[in-house]
Amino acid sequence: MFRRKKGAWRSSEGGFKDHPPPPPRSKFNLVWPAACLVLLLALGSSVNFCRSACDRAAIEPSRRVIAPSLKAEFQGKKLVFVFSTGRTGTKHFSSVFAGKEALVNHQDEADLVSAKEAVNKFYRPFAAKNDTALAREFLAEVKLPMINSRLQAADAKVYFQTGHVPLAFGMAPILLDLLGSKTFAVVRIRRDRIQQALSLMALGPESEDPWSEDSESLSRRWFPRPSDVHVRLKPDPRVWNSFNRFQRYLWLVDDTECRWQLLKREYVFDHLEVQMESLLQLNGVEEYEKIAAFVGTGLSPRESIHARDNSIEQKGRDNVKWVADEKTLRFWDEQYRKLVGPCVVNQNLMYKW
């Protein structure tokens, strides 16, 4: 009984013979493994590219189809924001405007995120580095869903946020992109420049100003800094360092106006401009009625309208008094105007003192 030898083959003549030597390799035999390796590497790169693209899409909501879905969810609704520096009566607004038609809120940014956390984790990084992906993620996945759920729960169509924070940090263009011009609206509130600067200074001591070196000040003063990407007035660092505290807050007031001029020229949306002093006149109720009509809500009783509250006292902060007479303040203002430089709105429009 014969057994087949391992590695042997059956001959046509019968029996088994040792396996013949392999034929010489052709050029094809030498090339095809390399070709396969190149093909595999190319496929791997494609997979990695697709995977990295998906990863970017997961991090950057702008690459996902979120804007159309948000626009659909907010169709027929109106979200009204305030464009100001703060200290323009916006806290008072949250108690003046009321009614079943609209939800009025001062500065809730999210159900599970405090306003301070929203400023420090989302708004400031966006303003400092133009981190659009981070801002869109917060607005599209946290803030706007919160607003929508509240509107649905109250069966309301209008949401009025009276706080200055989102637009102060340059969020208006992103909100417009996510919501559309039919949903997004703005109330622009101005105040006398000098009085505005003094009121902002009164929030606390100089060590708490947002441009100080104290990191805690960033948590207490929700204002942009001259180094932020979205600001329009860009004084030279030497000029900035020469400004006193009052002049730096004048800069904040003027930069806010400069950014507003850019926004309303670059984008189409409903807006109403209000001078705070007009609300304090004998016919101030008529001015409040104009705002209520624009927003789409009612007004509290007349007594509540005239009973102004002071958010500094409510927050338990020291009301720091700035000791300077009017002549000195105007001199500092004149000095500041000569140094601050122009407000460049766009290529065709520039404001300067």
Q: In whole numbers, what is the pLDDT of the chain averaged over residues?
A: 80
Interval 176-207: pLDDT, tens: 999 999 999 999 999 999 999 999 998 888 88
Q: Is 145 exposed, middle or buried (0-12, 13-18, 19+ CB in 10 A)?
A: middle
pTM of this structure: 0.77
Interval 118-168: pLDDT, tens: 998 999 999 999 999 999 999 999 999 999 999 999 999 999 999 999 999
Q: Return the percentage of the chain with pLDDT > 70, whole number.
A: 73
The rounded Cα 42 to chain-centroid distance in angstroms is 40
329 touches 205 (CB < 8 A): no
Q: Which pLDDT does position 224 carry in this prediction?
A: 92
Find where tokens 């989302």 sit: 122
Q: Which pLDDT does position 3 carry in this prediction?
A: 41
Interval 199-249: pLDDT, tens: 999 888 888 898 887 656 566 788 999 999 999 999 999 999 999 999 999
Q: Which pLDDT does position 18 carry in this prediction?
A: 45
More confident residue, 335 or 313: 335
Q: Which pLDDT does position 28 carry in this prediction?
A: 40
